[in-house]
Structure 1
């Protein structure tokens, strides 16, 4: 049935004002999937949110939320402004109230996007907000490359060890971080001066609070599972060269996958064995924090 209805793909929209056919408002099992469809700024910006009743129940019953984790809400947003994120979170809270639940997670794990961080702080003030340690290490690595130090990092063991000490600050007791940063900086080679200037500006005295990126007391240091999902999802998107309708077809498929995973977990099945590549990736990540 799903293949038959997909033969009639609508015209690709040229603006944000268009109708979403019923076939795309439902899951592949013909249940409601389109949750919200509204405009911001006098119909100039549109927000479209998809989530099934089953996914919403899982979201509202979860104490820990991984932003960009296993998706239970697909949000097509026009921008990455704090106000847009806050509006979405508040609407989800209203959805929870409508079904006699609450959307008040005890912990939120996300990346360090400033608008998202501000929105989480404003909407979930009582939640413990933890930054993903993988994203933290990735950001430092990216800066090493941007400063032209990638080759030296690869071939100079002493320099690599100094960089790893810098990355490992996220795993130290928070009261020790600034003192240890100063100790490491006093010992490093001059070639790393710019890297330490960046680190102090961004992570010690910058816009990212130390309490957000320090993972010493966190039970959830990374959202690597979410990153693995994002890579798989991104690969599927690239293969499809998606327009709006093919993207909706893709998230309908993802909802079907969600249903299958939920059934497997409910029956007591364990997660799939990590692939060789995934195991190797995790080993490299752990090595960075040694």
Structure 2
């Protein structure tokens, strides 16, 4: 028996790289019985990433999951439905209009307890932008909100 192995189950060879092309691909997969993936690994095509986020919003973003694990919060994520929902709210920020992301992040942060401070610091620095030391606003994050 193999454990901790990644086994590709579906390969998609598409003619185009647009979001619509990938959406059509995933729609065909959804027509198959019981297609409910727990995780998806893709190449770094913008259309693929956008389509996965749109069509499979409950698939936890791998980068955030790694941080949940590295911060010692994996058990809490699996066992605490409220905590799991809060983490998913963080991931769902990607679906908001760009101008609303920072405000929504600040509201979500208030829902967490102190145990998640390291996770929230990572998320803020990486995806939202660190608060500026003086004044208001935030520094630009490493990845652009418009992606």
- TM class by shorter chain equals 0.5 to 0.7
In structure 1, distance between residues paired with 2:101 and 2:115:
22
Is 1:111 the counterpart of 2:111? The answer is: no
1:151-166 aligned within 5 A: 151-166=75-90
Mapped contact 2:18–2:47 kept (Cα < 8 A)? no
Aligned residue for 1:201? 125
d(CA) in 1 for partners of 2:143 and 2:48? 9
- Indicate if the aligned counterparts of 1:159 and 1:189 stay in contact, CA closer than 8 A: no
Q: Which has the higher strand share?
A: 1
Structure number with bigger Rg: 1
- Separation (CA, whole Å) in 1 of partners of 2:110 and 2:43: 32
Question: In 1, Cα distance between the equivalents of 2:65 and 2:120?
Answer: 12
Deviation at 1:207, TM superposition (A): 1.2
Structure 1: gaps (5+ residues): 1-54, 71-108, 113-128, 213-290
- 1:147 paired with 2:101, answer no
Q: TM-score, normalised by structure 2?
A: 0.55
TM-score normalised by L of structure 1: 0.29
Matches within 5 A, 1:43-192: 62=16, 64=18, 111=44, 129=46, 132=49, 134=52, 137-192=61-116
Question: Does structure 1 residue 211 correspond to structure 2 residue 146?
Answer: yes
Pick 1 or 2: higher relative contact order, CA cutoff 8 A, min separation 6. 1
The alignment yields a C-alpha RMSD, in angstroms, of: 3.2
**How far does residue 111 in structure 1 lie from its aligned partner after superposition?**
2.9
**Are residues 146 and 201 of structure 1, via their aligned partners in 2, closer, same or farther at CA, if it must alter by over 3 Å?**
same
Q: Does the 8 Å contact 1:144/1:195 carry over to 2?
A: yes
* 1:243-273 CA-partner distances (Å, limit 9, x unpaired): xxxxxxxxxxxxxxxxxxxxxxxxxxxxxxx
Mark the CA change 1:201 to 1:130 in structure 2 (over 3 Å): closer, same or farther.
Answer: farther
